[in-house]
Chains A and B, each alone.
Chain A
Amino acid sequence: KEQQQHHDEL
Chain B
Amino acid sequence: MTLFRLAGDLSHVLAILLLLYKIWTTKSAAGISGKTQLMFCMVYVTRYLDLFTSFISVYNSTMKVLFISASVATVYLIYFKFKATYDGNHDTFRMEFVIVPALILALIWNYAFTFFEISWAFSIFLEAVAILPQLFMVTKTGEAENITSHYLFALGSYRALYILNWIDRYYFEGHWDPIAVTAGIVQTVLYGDFFYLYFTRVIKGRKLQVLP
Contacts and interface: CB of A to CB of B under 8 A. Distances in A.
Partners in one complex: yes
Interface of A: 2-10
- The main secondary structure of chain A at its interface with chain B is helix
- The main secondary structure of chain B at its interface with chain A is helix
B9 A10 contact: yes
B67 interface: yes
A9 to B, nearest CB: 7
Nearest to B178: A6
Contacts of A6: 111, 120, 177, 179-180
B180 A10 contact: no
13 contacts: A2-B111, A4-B54, A4-B56, A5-B175, A6-B111, A6-B177, A6-B179, A7-B50, A7-B54, A7-B120, A9-B5, A9-B180, A10-B60
Interface in B120-168: 120, 162, 165
